[in-house]
Amino acid sequence: MFHLAHISDIHLSPLPGITYRELASKRITGYINWRRNRQAVMTSGALDAVIADMKAQAPDHIAITGDLVNLALDLEVKAARLWLETLGNPADVSLVPGNHDAYVPGALDNACRIWEPWMRGDGVDNAGHRVEFPYMRVRQDVALIGVSSARATAPFMASGDFGRGQGKRLARMLDEAAGRGLFRVVMIHHPPVRGAAPAHKRLYGIGRFQKIIARHGAGLILHGHTHLATRYEIDGPSGQVPVICVPSASQGFGERRPAARFNLFAIGKREDGTWACRWTERGVVGPNKEIETIAERALDVGH
C-alpha cells in the first residue's frame, strides 16, 4: 500500500520586507489583498499543526499543488526553499507551481530554478535550466505526473494555462505509465473542471486536458487554487476519474473557507488486479488548532 499526502496553497507567511520598486507592478494589488484579507487568517499557526499531523501519519510521499508564496518576492521564494527542506527530501516531495508562484513576469523561472529538486523528473538533469513540465516520478507502483498551469497574469486575474506542448507530453507520460502497470496521479494547480473556479481564476485549456484524460486515462487528479474541499469527476477511457481539491494548508479556523487540511490517499492493488484507493481528510477542527479526521471513504478510481 502506497500512502500519498496532498497539501496545497501554503502561502507562507509573514511577508518579508518589500520595497517600493517591488510594489510597482501587479504586486501592489496582491500586497493590499494580503494586508486586508489574508494576513489575519494565514498566520494563525494552522500550517504548523497540519504539517506536524501529516508527518505523524508517515506518508510515503507528499504532493504539493502550488502557491507556496504570495507575491513571488525573491526573499519569499528563497524562504520557501528552506521550508521545503524541512518538509522532506526532494525525492519524497513532488511540487507543481501555482499562480502566486508566477505572480509577475520572470517569477516562475526564478521559483522553478530554486525549487528544482522538488520538480525533477526521474532520470532528468535540468542542469540549472527551467523545469520542463510535465515531469514524471515513479515511487513504488505509483506514477506522479506534475503539470504546470502557472503563469503571470494581469492585475485582478489569477487564471492558468494548459497548452498544446504540455498536452502532448502529458499524453506520452500517461501512456508510458500505463504500459508499466502503474497507478497514475496527475498534479496541477488550477482545477481542470469547468465552473470550479470563477472566470478570472479559471484554467485555459480545460477542454484539452479533459480530452487527454478521456483518451489516455489516469487514476487520480489532485489540484488546489480554490482553497475548498471539492470532488469532481471527469471522463476516463474506462470510467470516471476523481478530481480532488484540498483546502489551503494555512487557512485559520472560523473563516469563510474551510480551515487548514491535508488529504491522505492509500493506494494499492486488489487481488483481481484492479486498483483501490482510500481517501482520508484530516485538518483543523477548532480554534486551538486541534487536528481530527474529517472524512474517510473509498474512491472509485476508474483507471
Residues sharing a CB contact under 8 Å with residue 190, sequence separation 6 or more, in sequence order? 98, 99, 149, 159, 160, 162, 197, 201, 202, 203, 223, 225
**What is the structure's pLDDT at 31?**
44
Q: Rounded CA gap, 95 and 7, in Å?
A: 10
How high is the pLDDT of residue 20?
46
Give the pLDDT of residue 16.
Answer: 52
Burial (CB count <10 Å: 0-12, 13-18, 19+), residue 179: exposed
Element (H, E) at 282: strand 275-284
The domains of the chain, with CATH numbers, are 2-299 (3.60.21.10)
Question: What is the residue-level pLDDT of the chain in tens, covering all 303 positions?
Answer: 999 999 999 998 755 556 545 555 555 455 445 455 555 556 558 999 999 999 999 999 999 999 999 887 888 899 999 999 999 999 999 999 999 999 888 889 999 999 999 999 998 887 767 788 999 999 999 999 999 999 988 777 789 999 999 999 999 999 999 999 999 999 999 999 999 999 999 999 999 999 999 999 999 999 999 999 999 999 999 899 999 999 999 998 888 889 999 999 999 998 888 899 999 999 999 999 999 999 999 998 865
Q: Retrieve residue 149's grid coordinates.
A: 498551469
Question: Cβ(271)–Cβ(30) under 8 Å?
Answer: no
If we measure between CA atoms, which residue out of 68, 155, 154 comes closest to residue 112?
Answer: 68
Residue 44 pLDDT: 59
Regarding pTM above 0.95, the answer is no
The answer to whether residues 63 and 144 touch, using CB atoms and an 8 Å cutoff, is: yes
DSSP strand pairing (61-65 vs 230-236)? unpaired
Q: Tell me which H or E stretch contains 231.
A: strand 230-236
What are the respective helix, strand and coil percentages of the chain, to the nearest 5?
30, 25, 45
